[in-house]
Chain A
Amino acid sequence: MAEAEAARRVANPIQVLGRSTLAAVRMVGSVGVFAVRGVAAALTPPWFLSQLWRQIVAIGFFSLPVVGLTAVFTGAALALNIFTGGGRFNAEQVMPQIVALGITRELGPVLAALMLAGRVSAAIAAEIGAMRATEQIDAMRTLSTDPFRYLVGPRLLAGVLMLPLLTAVADTIGVAGGWLVATRVLEFSPTIYIRNTLDFLQAWDVVSGLIKAAVFGFIVALMGCYHGYNASGGARGVGRATTHAVVSSAILIFASDYLLTTFFTHAAQ
């Protein structure tokens, strides 16, 4: 007995390593299969247009206040910080350009996606998880309604379509936040600030941010659907699913943000 116990203790780290590796691989595989099925359901008819519209309103329109508030405060804080940083080498005057670049390329899409991850991903996971816990998804299948078409497809589409629009709003409001602080607190000229921003910004700065946003929208909706769909264990399972949805979509947003930025940087050269 003692020998077996010792052997288990020696083997334990290896077991843990193997088990977690297998779990990770299995997770990637099942998310991948889920994503492919979801995309196939989203792109091929028949579509449930009323469902799609409901999701567009829920994901897009009702996220506007939270995204707008995040953007305005971020733009304002960014303006103050870049003003301070620029002042260290007498470059306060480039603050409008840096704020605009930071907002459109990076902070607009990422912050909008993170707010969406908190708001929408959790809501989707809770909704679908509750349907799973109360066996509504099985009932749906019994009534020969494909849950992928009815639940997952519209949410994925709405995420991909609405997050770029939310990001466009966040970009505008973020620059407006920087402009407000610059003109009210730092005594920049309002028109010069805007003219500098517009002269400096290139279409690609905004477009690359919107492309990022479409990817993030897909991630947010996918993680919500995946964790909700695979929730198990009743009410506790639903709670766990929402947590997992938010955490995993936030991590994936940051990881894919870095990858996309790398890709765009190399593509631009």
Chain B
Amino acid sequence: MGVVVLALAAGFLTYSLSVGGVATKRGNYEISAKFGEAGSLAPGAAVSVAGVKVGTVSQVTLEPKTYLAVAKLSIDPTVKLPADSTAKITSDGLLGGAHIAIAPGAALDDLKPGGEIENTQGAVDIFGLIGSVIRPQGGASSDAAASSTPAPANPATQPAESY
């Protein structure tokens, strides 16, 4: 009986690992991407191309000199990404967890293991956006709200752009 229980447990475990894709993680290659705003991106988040999961975020750290968030992405070796691909942090739902969506570029050469995705788009601060639309701040606020363009909607970026 004990042997049967052990065999069942081992069988289910191997089945899960083969289905869950943890076992195939070993051959993955790693690339990095820098973001101005990582939002709620955390290790373990999915990396997808065209909505299909091709890897995971293995690490999110801060680069001390530039104050950029550096995400290390572990990518399935069968997926070759063009060097000018774009990485974008999006969320699963309106308030769901963050993941990285990669839009493949058109360059002829691929990203090498250890390479970096140059074109990135950080997380969108939804509550910041909502707040700036509801209560616009700053001198140009009335004009900005009236013209209803989303570009100056984030007041935090304005001082940085002004010099």
Contacts and interface: CB of A to CB of B under 8 A. Distances in A.
Interface string B15-28: 11101111000000
Interface of B: 1-2, 4-6, 8-9, 12-13, 15-17, 19-22, 44, 46
Nearest to B10: A172
Contact of A197 (B1, B5, B16): B16
A61 B2 CA distance: 6
Contacts, number: 48
Contact of A176 (B4, B8, B21, B46): B8
A-B pairs, 7 with minimum CB distance:
A68-B5, A64-B2, A198-B20, A65-B1, A176-B12, A64-B5, A172-B9
Given A194-B20, A195-B21, A172 B13 contact: yes
Contacts of A197: 16, 20
Contacts of B46: 199
Q: How large is the interface on A (under 10, 10 to 19, 20 to 34, 35 or more residues)?
A: 10 to 19
Interface in A149-203: 169, 172-173, 175-176, 179, 190-191, 194-195, 197-199
A175 B9 CA distance: 10
B133 to A, nearest CB: 28
A113 B88 CA distance: 47
A191 B46 CA distance: 17
A72 to B, nearest CB: 9
Interface of B is mostly: helix
Interface of A: 61-62, 64-65, 67-68, 169, 172-173, 175-176, 179, 190-191, 194-195, 197-199
27 contacts: A62-B2, A64-B1, A64-B2, A65-B2, A65-B4, A65-B5, A68-B5, A68-B9, A169-B5, A172-B13, A173-B8, A173-B9, A175-B16, A176-B9, A176-B12, A179-B12, A190-B19, A194-B15, A195-B19, A195-B20, A195-B21, A197-B20, A198-B17, A198-B20, A198-B22, A199-B20, A199-B46
Contacts of A190: 19
A197 B8 CA distance: 18
A56 B72 CA distance: 44
A120 B80 CA distance: 56
Nearest to A170: B9
Contacts of B20: 194-195, 197-199
Given A64-B1, A169-B9, A199-B20, 16 more contacts: A64-B5, A65-B2, A65-B4, A65-B5, A169-B6, A172-B9, A173-B5, A175-B12, A179-B12, A190-B19, A191-B19, A194-B15, A194-B16, A194-B20, A195-B19, A198-B22
A195 B16 CA distance: 8
Contacts of A172: 9, 12-13
